[in-house]
Amino acid sequence: MLKKLLLSLMVVGSLSACSKQTFTINGQYGMKGEDTVSHFFIYGLGQDDEINAAAICGGANKVARVEAQQTFLNGLLGTLTYGLYSPRQYRVYCTR
């Protein structure tokens, strides 16, 4: 009974952690330039990670869209490790 309750709480916790932010520049969608994962530890306290979209696309004027997302798997990993490891997904799209 206790195992089922804990498993249910972990699933609900990981589902509620999904989020996505999209930044579209110049109304363009473009093609995928890079898909990366940032690795954060201990709930990401005092940590930051910069993604240089201009360097990925070959110039700031070639950046079409940037997405930051915490996927189901990212949330599940964070829940299973009690926040000790909490990855986050990033995608950069470039103009043609």
- pLDDT of 7 > 80? The answer is no
pLDDT of residue 27: 66
pLDDT of residue 10: 64
Condensed to tens digits (0 to 9), the pLDDT of residues 81-93 reads: 888 888 888 888 8
The tokens for 51 are: 């993604």
Tokens 């993604």 correspond to 51
pLDDT of residue 62: 86
Condensed to tens digits (0 to 9), the pLDDT of residues 8-60 reads: 766 665 555 577 777 777 666 667 777 788 777 787 777 777 888 888 888 88
> Which residues does 89 contact at the CB level (< 8 Å), separation at least 6?
35, 36, 37, 67, 68, 69, 70, 71, 74
Helix, strand or coil for residue 26?
coil
